[in-house]
Amino acid sequence: MYSLAEENYLKAIYHLEQEAKGEVSTNAIADRMATKPSSVTDMIQKLADKKLLSYKRYKGALLTPEGRKIAAGVIRKHRLWEVFLVEKLDFHWDEVHEIAEQLEHVHSEKLISRLDQFLGNPDFDPHGDPIPDKHGNIKRTEKKLLSELDKKQRGVCVGVKESSSDFLQYLDKKKITIGTKILVLGKEFFDGSMVIQVGRDQFFISKKIAENLYVQTN
Amino acid sequence: MYSLAEENYLKAIYHLEQEAKGEVSTNAIADRMATKPSSVTDMIQKLADKKLLSYKRYKGALLTPEGRKIAAGVIRKHRLWEVFLVEKLDFHWDEVHEIAEQLEHVHSEKLISRLDQFLGNPDFDPHGDPIPDKHGNIKRTEKKLLSELDKKQRGVCVGVKESSSDFLQYLDKKKITIGTKILVLGKEFFDGSMVIQVGRDQFFISKKIAENLYVQTN
DNA sequence: ACCTATTTTTCGTCTTGGCTAAAAATATTA
DNA sequence: TAATATTTTTAGCCAAGACGAAAAATAGGT
Ligand SMILES: [Mn+2]
Ligand SMILES: [Mn+2]
Ligand SMILES: [Mn+2]
Ligand SMILES: [Mn+2]
Protein backbone atom coordinates (compact mmCIF):
# COMPACT_ATOMS: atom_id res chain seq x y z
CA MET A 1 0.00 0.00 0.00
CA TYR A 2 1.41 3.35 -0.99
CA SER A 3 1.08 6.62 0.86
CA LEU A 4 -0.93 9.56 -0.30
CA ALA A 5 2.25 11.45 -1.13
CA GLU A 6 3.70 8.56 -3.11
CA GLU A 7 0.49 8.12 -5.07
CA ASN A 8 0.38 11.79 -5.94
CA TYR A 9 3.95 11.77 -7.19
CA LEU A 10 3.34 8.68 -9.33
CA LYS A 11 0.23 10.23 -10.79
CA ALA A 12 2.00 13.48 -11.62
CA ILE A 13 4.92 11.67 -13.24
CA TYR A 14 2.53 9.48 -15.22
CA HIS A 15 0.80 12.55 -16.64
CA LEU A 16 4.08 14.30 -17.38
CA GLU A 17 5.36 11.24 -19.23
CA GLN A 18 2.29 11.28 -21.48
CA GLU A 19 2.68 14.95 -22.24
CA ALA A 20 6.42 15.05 -22.72
CA LYS A 21 7.16 11.57 -24.02
CA GLY A 22 10.36 10.67 -22.24
CA GLU A 23 12.20 11.24 -18.98
CA VAL A 24 10.48 13.61 -16.61
CA SER A 25 12.60 16.32 -15.03
CA THR A 26 12.75 17.20 -11.37
CA ASN A 27 11.63 20.75 -12.03
CA ALA A 28 8.68 19.61 -14.12
CA ILE A 29 7.47 17.46 -11.25
CA ALA A 30 8.01 20.24 -8.73
CA ASP A 31 6.02 22.65 -10.89
CA ARG A 32 3.14 20.25 -11.41
CA MET A 33 2.93 19.43 -7.72
CA ALA A 34 3.50 22.94 -6.44
CA THR A 35 6.44 21.77 -4.36
CA LYS A 36 10.18 22.37 -4.38
CA PRO A 37 12.79 20.55 -6.49
CA SER A 38 14.65 19.43 -3.40
CA SER A 39 11.54 17.69 -2.12
CA VAL A 40 11.09 16.02 -5.49
CA THR A 41 14.62 14.65 -5.49
CA ASP A 42 14.01 13.06 -2.10
CA MET A 43 10.83 11.42 -3.24
CA ILE A 44 12.01 10.12 -6.58
CA GLN A 45 14.96 8.52 -4.85
CA LYS A 46 12.56 6.82 -2.51
CA LEU A 47 10.33 5.68 -5.38
CA ALA A 48 13.37 4.43 -7.27
CA ASP A 49 14.37 2.34 -4.23
CA LYS A 50 10.90 0.82 -4.35
CA LYS A 51 11.32 0.07 -8.07
CA LEU A 52 8.38 2.22 -9.05
CA LEU A 53 10.51 4.32 -11.33
CA SER A 54 13.99 4.30 -12.78
CA TYR A 55 16.21 7.19 -12.03
CA LYS A 56 19.80 8.21 -12.62
CA ARG A 57 21.10 11.33 -10.94
CA TYR A 58 20.54 14.44 -13.06
CA LYS A 59 18.80 12.34 -15.72
CA GLY A 60 15.14 12.52 -14.75
CA ALA A 61 12.64 9.79 -13.92
CA LEU A 62 10.72 7.16 -15.88
CA LEU A 63 8.03 4.96 -14.36
CA THR A 64 8.56 1.22 -14.33
CA PRO A 65 5.63 -0.97 -15.42
CA GLU A 66 4.79 -1.40 -11.74
CA GLY A 67 4.89 2.35 -11.14
CA ARG A 68 2.75 2.93 -14.17
CA LYS A 69 0.22 0.40 -12.93
CA ILE A 70 -0.07 2.14 -9.56
CA ALA A 71 -0.45 5.52 -11.22
CA ALA A 72 -3.10 4.25 -13.62
CA GLY A 73 -4.97 2.76 -10.67
CA VAL A 74 -5.09 6.12 -8.93
CA ILE A 75 -6.23 7.83 -12.12
CA ARG A 76 -8.87 5.15 -12.58
CA LYS A 77 -10.23 5.84 -9.13
CA HIS A 78 -10.12 9.60 -9.63
CA ARG A 79 -12.14 9.41 -12.84
CA LEU A 80 -14.65 6.88 -11.60
CA TRP A 81 -15.36 9.04 -8.57
CA GLU A 82 -15.80 12.04 -10.86
CA VAL A 83 -18.39 10.10 -12.82
CA PHE A 84 -20.11 9.17 -9.58
CA LEU A 85 -20.24 12.76 -8.42
CA VAL A 86 -21.69 14.03 -11.69
CA GLU A 87 -23.99 11.15 -12.57
CA LYS A 88 -25.28 10.16 -9.16
CA LEU A 89 -24.87 13.20 -6.94
CA ASP A 90 -25.66 15.80 -9.60
CA PHE A 91 -22.45 17.73 -9.25
CA HIS A 92 -21.45 20.06 -12.01
CA TRP A 93 -18.37 19.03 -14.02
CA ASP A 94 -16.39 21.98 -12.72
CA GLU A 95 -16.87 21.00 -9.06
CA VAL A 96 -15.70 17.41 -8.96
CA HIS A 97 -11.95 17.50 -9.33
CA GLU A 98 -11.00 18.60 -5.83
CA ILE A 99 -13.24 16.03 -4.21
CA ALA A 100 -11.92 13.28 -6.49
CA GLU A 101 -8.40 14.27 -5.45
CA GLN A 102 -9.34 13.04 -1.99
CA LEU A 103 -11.45 10.05 -2.96
CA GLU A 104 -8.78 8.68 -5.30
CA HIS A 105 -6.69 7.70 -2.27
CA VAL A 106 -9.23 5.43 -0.65
CA HIS A 107 -7.78 1.93 -0.76
CA SER A 108 -10.17 -0.90 -1.60
CA GLU A 109 -10.13 -3.06 -4.70
CA LYS A 110 -13.63 -4.19 -4.04
CA LEU A 111 -14.94 -0.68 -3.54
CA ILE A 112 -13.67 0.47 -6.87
CA SER A 113 -14.87 -2.56 -8.79
CA ARG A 114 -18.32 -2.23 -7.26
CA LEU A 115 -18.36 1.48 -8.01
CA ASP A 116 -17.36 0.81 -11.61
CA GLN A 117 -20.23 -1.63 -11.93
CA PHE A 118 -22.68 0.71 -10.21
CA LEU A 119 -21.81 3.42 -12.73
CA GLY A 120 -22.28 1.05 -15.68
CA ASN A 121 -18.56 0.62 -16.44
CA PRO A 122 -18.09 4.05 -17.97
CA ASP A 123 -15.27 4.57 -20.49
CA PHE A 124 -14.86 8.30 -19.94
CA ASP A 125 -15.02 10.73 -17.06
CA PRO A 126 -17.10 13.93 -17.11
CA HIS A 127 -14.29 15.83 -18.81
CA GLY A 128 -13.94 13.28 -21.60
CA ASP A 129 -10.82 11.67 -20.16
CA PRO A 130 -10.57 7.90 -20.59
CA ILE A 131 -10.91 5.67 -17.53
CA PRO A 132 -8.17 3.02 -17.27
CA ASP A 133 -9.41 -0.54 -16.80
CA LYS A 134 -8.45 -2.56 -13.72
CA HIS A 135 -5.15 -3.54 -15.35
CA GLY A 136 -4.26 0.07 -16.03
CA ASN A 137 -4.89 -0.08 -19.76
CA ILE A 138 -6.38 2.96 -21.39
CA LYS A 139 -8.48 2.93 -24.51
CA ARG A 140 -6.84 5.69 -26.52
CA THR A 141 -9.15 7.38 -28.97
CA GLU A 142 -8.47 9.52 -31.95
CA LYS A 143 -8.89 13.07 -30.91
CA LYS A 144 -7.35 16.36 -31.82
CA LEU A 145 -7.42 19.88 -30.50
CA LEU A 146 -10.04 22.17 -31.93
CA SER A 147 -7.16 24.47 -32.84
CA GLU A 148 -5.92 21.86 -35.31
CA LEU A 149 -9.11 22.06 -37.38
CA ASP A 150 -9.28 24.24 -40.47
CA LYS A 151 -12.03 26.43 -41.80
CA LYS A 152 -15.20 24.48 -42.69
CA GLN A 153 -14.17 21.39 -40.75
CA ARG A 154 -16.55 19.86 -38.22
CA GLY A 155 -15.82 18.14 -34.93
CA VAL A 156 -17.59 16.78 -31.90
CA CYS A 157 -16.32 17.89 -28.54
CA VAL A 158 -14.95 14.82 -26.73
CA GLY A 159 -12.98 16.34 -23.95
CA VAL A 160 -11.15 19.25 -22.41
CA LYS A 161 -7.42 19.60 -21.90
CA GLU A 162 -7.71 22.02 -19.00
CA SER A 163 -10.45 21.46 -16.53
CA SER A 164 -10.22 24.56 -14.45
CA SER A 165 -13.47 25.89 -13.13
CA ASP A 166 -13.07 29.08 -15.12
CA PHE A 167 -12.70 27.25 -18.40
CA LEU A 168 -15.53 24.81 -17.78
CA GLN A 169 -17.85 27.63 -16.81
CA TYR A 170 -16.91 29.48 -19.97
CA LEU A 171 -17.86 26.39 -21.96
CA ASP A 172 -21.18 26.15 -20.17
CA LYS A 173 -21.93 29.75 -21.01
CA LYS A 174 -21.26 28.95 -24.64
CA LYS A 175 -23.35 25.76 -24.39
CA ILE A 176 -20.41 23.53 -25.19
CA THR A 177 -20.17 20.19 -23.43
CA ILE A 178 -19.07 16.62 -24.24
CA GLY A 179 -20.90 15.61 -27.42
CA THR A 180 -21.48 19.14 -28.74
CA LYS A 181 -21.01 19.55 -32.49
CA ILE A 182 -18.75 22.36 -33.57
CA LEU A 183 -18.25 23.82 -37.04
CA VAL A 184 -15.28 26.04 -37.79
CA LEU A 185 -16.51 29.02 -39.77
CA GLY A 186 -13.28 30.94 -39.82
CA LYS A 187 -9.73 30.81 -38.59
CA GLU A 188 -7.33 33.71 -38.21
CA PHE A 189 -3.77 32.66 -38.87
CA PHE A 190 -2.27 35.68 -37.18
CA ASP A 191 -3.47 34.87 -33.66
CA GLY A 192 -5.06 31.44 -34.05
CA SER A 193 -8.49 32.74 -33.11
CA MET A 194 -11.57 31.20 -34.66
CA VAL A 195 -15.21 31.84 -35.38
CA ILE A 196 -17.23 28.72 -34.72
CA GLN A 197 -20.83 27.59 -34.88
CA VAL A 198 -22.40 25.76 -31.95
CA GLY A 199 -26.06 24.89 -32.48
CA ARG A 200 -27.55 28.05 -33.91
CA ASP A 201 -25.01 30.36 -32.32
CA GLN A 202 -21.94 31.68 -34.04
CA PHE A 203 -19.17 33.31 -32.05
CA PHE A 204 -15.52 34.15 -31.72
CA ILE A 205 -13.08 32.10 -29.64
CA SER A 206 -9.45 32.77 -28.83
CA LYS A 207 -6.58 30.43 -29.63
CA LYS A 208 -6.33 29.59 -25.93
CA ILE A 209 -9.86 28.20 -25.95
CA ALA A 210 -9.29 26.26 -29.18
CA GLU A 211 -6.15 24.71 -27.74
CA ASN A 212 -7.94 23.33 -24.73
CA LEU A 213 -10.88 21.62 -26.42
CA TYR A 214 -10.55 18.12 -27.81
CA VAL A 215 -12.68 17.18 -30.80
CA GLN A 216 -13.22 14.11 -32.88
CA THR A 217 -13.63 14.46 -36.61
CA ASN A 218 -15.32 11.77 -38.68
CA MET B 1 -9.79 21.69 8.54
CA TYR B 2 -8.55 19.02 10.89
CA SER B 3 -6.05 16.28 10.17
CA LEU B 4 -6.90 12.63 9.90
CA ALA B 5 -5.20 11.96 13.24
CA GLU B 6 -7.07 14.77 14.99
CA GLU B 7 -10.40 13.57 13.60
CA ASN B 8 -9.74 10.04 14.77
CA TYR B 9 -8.89 11.20 18.26
CA LEU B 10 -12.01 13.35 18.49
CA LYS B 11 -14.15 10.47 17.28
CA ALA B 12 -12.64 8.06 19.79
CA ILE B 13 -13.08 10.50 22.66
CA TYR B 14 -16.65 11.18 21.60
CA HIS B 15 -17.48 7.48 21.73
CA LEU B 16 -15.72 7.01 25.05
CA GLU B 17 -17.64 9.93 26.55
CA GLN B 18 -20.92 8.29 25.55
CA GLU B 19 -19.92 4.97 27.04
CA ALA B 20 -18.35 6.20 30.24
CA LYS B 21 -20.29 9.38 30.91
CA GLY B 22 -17.64 11.75 32.13
CA GLU B 23 -13.98 12.56 31.69
CA VAL B 24 -12.13 10.22 29.37
CA SER B 25 -8.82 8.86 30.60
CA THR B 26 -5.58 8.83 28.69
CA ASN B 27 -5.33 5.06 28.92
CA ALA B 28 -8.87 4.56 27.66
CA ILE B 29 -8.08 6.59 24.57
CA ALA B 30 -4.82 4.76 24.02
CA ASP B 31 -6.59 1.41 24.25
CA ARG B 32 -9.35 2.40 21.86
CA MET B 33 -6.93 3.78 19.33
CA ALA B 34 -4.31 1.06 19.68
CA THR B 35 -1.66 3.63 20.47
CA LYS B 36 0.46 4.49 23.49
CA PRO B 37 -0.58 6.72 26.41
CA SER B 38 2.34 9.06 25.79
CA SER B 39 1.10 9.70 22.26
CA VAL B 40 -2.35 10.38 23.61
CA THR B 41 -1.06 12.95 26.06
CA ASP B 42 0.66 14.80 23.24
CA MET B 43 -2.47 14.85 21.13
CA ILE B 44 -4.93 15.86 23.82
CA GLN B 45 -2.66 18.74 24.73
CA LYS B 46 -2.72 19.81 21.12
CA LEU B 47 -6.50 19.46 20.91
CA ALA B 48 -6.87 21.40 24.14
CA ASP B 49 -4.79 24.24 22.65
CA LYS B 50 -7.23 24.25 19.75
CA LYS B 51 -10.17 24.41 22.20
CA LEU B 52 -11.64 21.16 20.94
CA LEU B 53 -11.52 19.64 24.38
CA SER B 54 -10.88 20.70 27.93
CA TYR B 55 -8.07 19.07 29.76
CA LYS B 56 -6.32 19.41 33.09
CA ARG B 57 -3.18 17.38 33.68
CA TYR B 58 -3.92 13.96 35.16
CA LYS B 59 -7.66 14.68 35.00
CA GLY B 60 -8.69 13.33 31.62
CA ALA B 61 -10.38 15.00 28.66
CA LEU B 62 -13.86 16.29 27.85
CA LEU B 63 -14.89 17.54 24.44
CA THR B 64 -15.98 21.14 24.08
CA PRO B 65 -19.15 21.80 22.05
CA GLU B 66 -16.89 22.57 19.09
CA GLY B 67 -14.98 19.33 19.53
CA ARG B 68 -18.20 17.41 19.84
CA LYS B 69 -19.48 18.97 16.64
CA ILE B 70 -16.38 17.94 14.70
CA ALA B 71 -16.58 14.41 16.09
CA ALA B 72 -20.27 14.09 15.26
CA GLY B 73 -19.51 15.28 11.74
CA VAL B 74 -16.97 12.53 11.24
CA ILE B 75 -19.37 9.95 12.63
CA ARG B 76 -22.09 11.28 10.36
CA LYS B 77 -19.86 10.79 7.36
CA HIS B 78 -18.77 7.35 8.48
CA ARG B 79 -22.33 6.15 8.84
CA LEU B 80 -23.64 7.72 5.65
CA TRP B 81 -20.84 6.07 3.68
CA GLU B 82 -21.69 2.75 5.32
CA VAL B 83 -25.26 3.15 4.13
CA PHE B 84 -24.02 3.95 0.66
CA LEU B 85 -21.81 0.88 0.54
CA VAL B 86 -24.58 -1.45 1.67
CA GLU B 87 -27.55 0.10 -0.11
CA LYS B 88 -25.96 1.16 -3.38
CA LEU B 89 -22.89 -1.00 -3.84
CA ASP B 90 -24.35 -4.18 -2.31
CA PHE B 91 -21.69 -4.61 0.32
CA HIS B 92 -22.43 -6.86 3.21
CA TRP B 93 -22.77 -5.18 6.62
CA ASP B 94 -19.62 -6.82 7.89
CA GLU B 95 -17.43 -5.39 5.12
CA VAL B 96 -18.13 -1.70 5.28
CA HIS B 97 -16.48 -0.43 8.41
CA GLU B 98 -12.85 -0.40 7.21
CA ILE B 99 -13.75 1.40 4.02
CA ALA B 100 -15.88 3.93 5.89
CA GLU B 101 -12.89 4.58 8.17
CA GLN B 102 -11.18 6.00 5.11
CA LEU B 103 -14.16 7.72 3.49
CA GLU B 104 -15.10 9.52 6.71
CA HIS B 105 -12.06 11.78 6.28
CA VAL B 106 -12.99 13.18 2.89
CA HIS B 107 -13.65 16.88 3.40
CA SER B 108 -16.59 18.36 1.52
CA GLU B 109 -19.76 19.75 3.00
CA LYS B 110 -21.50 19.57 -0.31
CA LEU B 111 -20.46 15.98 -0.94
CA ILE B 112 -21.92 14.79 2.29
CA SER B 113 -25.16 16.71 1.96
CA ARG B 114 -25.64 15.38 -1.58
CA LEU B 115 -24.82 11.86 -0.43
CA ASP B 116 -27.33 12.16 2.39
CA GLN B 117 -29.98 13.23 -0.09
CA PHE B 118 -29.02 10.49 -2.57
CA LEU B 119 -29.48 7.90 0.16
CA GLY B 120 -32.88 9.30 1.14
CA ASN B 121 -31.75 10.95 4.37
CA PRO B 122 -31.37 7.74 6.34
CA ASP B 123 -31.68 7.83 10.13
CA PHE B 124 -29.61 4.72 10.86
CA ASP B 125 -26.58 3.01 9.45
CA PRO B 126 -26.44 -0.68 8.49
CA HIS B 127 -25.57 -1.65 12.06
CA GLY B 128 -28.49 0.23 13.52
CA ASP B 129 -26.42 3.18 14.73
CA PRO B 130 -28.08 6.59 14.44
CA ILE B 131 -26.74 9.06 11.90
CA PRO B 132 -26.15 12.56 13.34
CA ASP B 133 -27.77 15.40 11.40
CA LYS B 134 -25.69 18.19 9.88
CA HIS B 135 -25.64 20.02 13.21
CA GLY B 136 -24.32 16.97 15.01
CA ASN B 137 -27.57 16.13 16.76
CA ILE B 138 -28.43 12.49 17.20
CA LYS B 139 -31.91 11.10 17.52
CA ARG B 140 -31.54 8.84 20.53
CA THR B 141 -33.93 5.94 20.60
CA GLU B 142 -35.00 3.65 23.37
CA LYS B 143 -33.04 0.49 23.09
CA LYS B 144 -31.65 -2.08 25.46
CA LEU B 145 -29.30 -5.00 25.27
CA LEU B 146 -30.84 -8.37 24.58
CA SER B 147 -29.15 -9.49 27.80
CA GLU B 148 -31.40 -7.17 29.77
CA LEU B 149 -34.55 -9.00 28.66
CA ASP B 150 -36.12 -11.66 30.83
CA LYS B 151 -37.72 -14.96 29.96
CA LYS B 152 -40.79 -14.61 27.73
CA GLN B 153 -40.00 -11.02 26.74
CA ARG B 154 -39.93 -10.07 23.07
CA GLY B 155 -37.70 -7.58 21.25
CA VAL B 156 -36.87 -6.41 17.78
CA CYS B 157 -33.21 -6.25 16.87
CA VAL B 158 -32.35 -2.60 16.24
CA GLY B 159 -28.56 -2.65 16.28
CA VAL B 160 -25.33 -4.24 17.32
CA LYS B 161 -22.89 -3.01 19.94
CA GLU B 162 -19.87 -4.72 18.39
CA SER B 163 -19.62 -4.78 14.66
CA SER B 164 -16.70 -7.09 14.13
CA SER B 165 -16.88 -9.28 11.09
CA ASP B 166 -16.96 -12.42 13.23
CA PHE B 167 -19.96 -11.26 15.19
CA LEU B 168 -21.90 -10.03 12.16
CA GLN B 169 -21.27 -13.27 10.33
CA TYR B 170 -22.47 -15.20 13.33
CA LEU B 171 -25.68 -13.17 13.28
CA ASP B 172 -26.13 -13.90 9.57
CA LYS B 173 -25.75 -17.60 10.20
CA LYS B 174 -28.48 -17.33 12.79
CA LYS B 175 -30.62 -15.23 10.45
CA ILE B 176 -30.57 -12.23 12.77
CA THR B 177 -30.43 -8.77 11.24
CA ILE B 178 -31.85 -5.31 11.88
CA GLY B 179 -35.62 -5.75 12.25
CA THR B 180 -35.53 -9.41 13.29
CA LYS B 181 -38.00 -10.36 16.06
CA ILE B 182 -36.53 -12.23 18.99
CA LEU B 183 -38.33 -14.06 21.79
CA VAL B 184 -36.50 -15.06 24.94
CA LEU B 185 -37.46 -18.64 25.80
CA GLY B 186 -35.05 -19.13 28.66
CA LYS B 187 -32.34 -17.36 30.58
CA GLU B 188 -29.67 -19.00 32.71
CA PHE B 189 -28.73 -16.79 35.63
CA PHE B 190 -25.49 -18.58 36.31
CA ASP B 191 -23.75 -17.60 33.06
CA GLY B 192 -26.22 -15.21 31.43
CA SER B 193 -26.79 -17.52 28.48
CA MET B 194 -30.18 -17.64 26.80
CA VAL B 195 -32.36 -19.76 24.61
CA ILE B 196 -34.13 -17.61 22.05
CA GLN B 197 -36.56 -18.02 19.20
CA VAL B 198 -35.88 -16.38 15.85
CA GLY B 199 -38.49 -17.12 13.23
CA ARG B 200 -39.15 -20.84 13.57
CA ASP B 201 -35.71 -21.62 14.96
CA GLN B 202 -34.90 -21.96 18.62
CA PHE B 203 -31.31 -21.95 19.79
CA PHE B 204 -28.84 -21.25 22.54
CA ILE B 205 -26.79 -18.02 22.71
CA SER B 206 -24.03 -17.07 25.13
CA LYS B 207 -24.06 -14.00 27.36
CA LYS B 208 -21.46 -12.41 25.11
CA ILE B 209 -23.85 -12.52 22.19
CA ALA B 210 -26.76 -11.20 24.24
CA GLU B 211 -24.65 -8.30 25.46
CA ASN B 212 -23.84 -7.12 21.96
CA LEU B 213 -27.31 -7.07 20.43
CA TYR B 214 -29.57 -4.08 20.88
CA VAL B 215 -33.31 -4.66 20.92
CA GLN B 216 -36.38 -2.51 21.21
CA THR B 217 -39.30 -3.72 23.28
CA ASN B 218 -42.79 -2.36 22.78
C1' DA C 1 37.64 25.30 -24.50
C1' DC C 2 35.87 28.31 -21.09
C1' DC C 3 32.73 30.98 -18.63
C1' DT C 4 28.08 31.47 -17.15
C1' DA C 5 23.29 30.25 -16.31
C1' DT C 6 20.29 26.70 -15.10
C1' DT C 7 19.04 22.46 -13.10
C1' DT C 8 19.57 19.11 -9.74
C1' DT C 9 21.28 17.30 -5.59
C1' DT C 10 22.93 17.49 -0.85
C1' DC C 11 22.71 19.04 3.82
C1' DG C 12 20.68 20.73 7.73
C1' DT C 13 16.25 21.89 9.66
C1' DC C 14 11.14 21.85 10.63
C1' DT C 15 6.43 19.79 11.73
C1' DT C 16 3.37 15.93 12.56
C1' DG C 17 2.48 11.97 14.84
C1' DG C 18 4.36 8.14 16.49
C1' DC C 19 7.59 5.40 20.20
C1' DT C 20 10.40 4.09 24.79
C1' DA C 21 12.25 5.01 29.22
C1' DA C 22 12.14 7.63 33.17
C1' DA C 23 9.89 10.82 36.27
C1' DA C 24 5.88 12.56 38.52
C1' DA C 25 1.27 12.39 40.14
C1' DT C 26 -2.52 9.82 41.73
C1' DA C 27 -4.77 5.71 43.60
C1' DT C 28 -4.77 1.72 46.48
C1' DT C 29 -3.71 -1.07 50.24
C1' DA C 30 -1.53 -2.38 54.39
C1' DT D 1 -0.20 7.25 57.34
C1' DA D 2 3.15 5.04 54.77
C1' DA D 3 4.36 1.99 51.22
C1' DT D 4 3.19 0.29 46.83
C1' DA D 5 0.88 0.05 42.42
C1' DT D 6 -1.06 2.33 38.61
C1' DT D 7 -1.72 6.11 35.62
C1' DT D 8 -0.10 9.99 33.35
C1' DT D 9 3.28 13.10 31.83
C1' DT D 10 7.84 14.45 30.33
C1' DA D 11 12.03 13.97 27.74
C1' DG D 12 14.52 12.28 24.09
C1' DC D 13 14.25 9.98 19.82
C1' DC D 14 12.49 8.37 15.02
C1' DA D 15 10.32 8.43 10.20
C1' DA D 16 7.77 10.83 6.59
C1' DG D 17 7.52 14.62 3.92
C1' DA D 18 8.23 19.21 3.41
C1' DC D 19 11.62 23.55 3.19
C1' DG D 20 15.89 26.85 2.13
C1' DA D 21 20.76 27.43 1.31
C1' DA D 22 24.79 25.81 -0.63
C1' DA D 23 27.28 22.61 -3.57
C1' DA D 24 27.60 19.95 -7.73
C1' DA D 25 26.48 18.75 -12.33
C1' DT D 26 24.85 19.92 -16.74
C1' DA D 27 23.70 23.03 -20.58
C1' DG D 28 24.48 27.14 -23.42
C1' DG D 29 26.93 30.84 -25.40
C1' DT D 30 31.18 32.76 -27.06
MN1 LIG E 1 -10.03 15.53 -12.12
MN1 LIG F 1 -11.48 14.43 -15.04
MN1 LIG G 1 -18.41 1.54 11.18
MN1 LIG H 1 -21.82 1.41 11.62
Ligand closest to Cα of A95 equals 1
CA of A84 to the centre of ligand 3 (A): 22
Is residue B119's beta carbon less than 7 angstroms from any atom in nucleic acid strand C? no
CA of A98 to the centre of ligand 2 (A): 10
Report CA-CA distances (Å) from A160 to A94, A128, A156, B181.
11, 7, 12, 55
Pick the closest to residue B80 from A118, A95, A89, A74 (CA basis). Answer: A89
Query: Does A172 have pLDDT greater than 90?
Result: yes
The band of B62, judged by pLDDT with boundaries at 50, 70 and 90, is very high
Q: To 10 degrees, what angle do helices A4-20 and A65-87 make? A: 100
Task: Evaluate whether the domain defined by B143-216 bears CATH number 2.30.30.90.
Answer: yes
Report CA-CA distances (Å) from A88 to A21, A104, A106, B96.
36, 17, 19, 20
Mean pLDDT over A141-163 rounds to: 95
State pLDDT tens for residues A40-98.
999 999 999 999 999 999 999 999 999 999 999 999 999 999 999 999 999 999 999 99
Whether the CB of A120 is below 8 Å from some CB of chain B: the reply is no
CA of B30 to the centre of ligand 2 (A): 41
CA of B93 to the centre of ligand 3 (A): 9
Interface of A with B in 84-113 (CB under 8 A): 85, 88-91, 95, 98-99, 102-103, 105-108, 110-111
Closest CA of chain A from B145, distance in Å: 32
* Nearest protein residue by Cα to C1' of nucleotide D11: B38
B58: the nucleotide nearest its CA (via C1') is D8
Chain A residues close to B90, C-beta within 8 Å: 114
CA of B83 to the centre of ligand 1 (A): 25
The CA distance from A38 to B150, in Å, is 69
Mean pLDDT over B66-94 rounds to: 98
| Residues near ion ligand 4 (Cβ under 5 Å) | B 82, 125, 127, 129
pLDDT score for B20 = 86
Is residue A54's beta carbon less than 7 angstroms from any atom in nucleic acid strand C? no
Q: Do A118 and B91 touch (CB under 8 A)?
A: no
Chain B residues close to A101, C-beta within 8 Å: none
Q: Do B91 and A114 touch (CB under 8 A)?
A: yes
CATH topology of domain A4-63: Arc Repressor Mutant, subunit A (1.10.10)
The band of B37, judged by pLDDT with boundaries at 50, 70 and 90, is very high
Mean pLDDT over B75-98 rounds to: 98
Question: CA at A61, C1' at C7: how many angstroms apart?
Answer: 14
B89, B91, B118 member nearest A89 (Cβ): B118
Q: Which nucleotides of C are covered by protein (CB under 7 A)?
A: 7-12, 16-22, 25-26
| DSSP-H helix ranges across chain A | 4-20, 26-33, 37-49, 65-87, 96-103, 109-118, 165-173, 207-210
State pLDDT tens for residues B112-156.
999 999 999 999 999 999 999 999 999 988 999 999 999 999 999
**b/e per residue, B31-59, with b = 16+ CB within 10 A?**
ebbebeeeebbebbeebbeeebbbbeeee
Question: CA at B181, C1' at C2: how many angstroms apart?
Answer: 91
Query: Does B218 have pLDDT greater than 90?
Result: no
Whether the CB of A135 is below 8 Å from some CB of chain B: the reply is no
Q: How many contacts (CB atoms, under 8 Å) link A and B?
A: 40
Q: Do B98 and A90 touch (CB under 8 A)?
A: no
pLDDT score for A21 = 82
Helix, strand or coil for residue B43?
helix
Element holding A213 (H helix, E strand)? strand A213-216
Mean pLDDT over A18-38 rounds to: 95
Q: Which nucleotides of D are covered by protein (CB under 7 A)?
A: 7-12, 16-22, 25-26
- The amino acid that residue B186 corresponds to is G
For chain A, domain boundaries: 4-63, 143-216
Whether the CB of B114 is below 8 Å from some CB of chain A: the reply is yes
pLDDT score for A20 = 85
**Among chain B residues, CA nearest to A109:** B99
Query: Does A22 have pLDDT greater than 90?
Result: no
pLDDT score for B207 = 96
Ligand closest to Cα of B98 equals 3
Mean pLDDT over A199-207 rounds to: 96
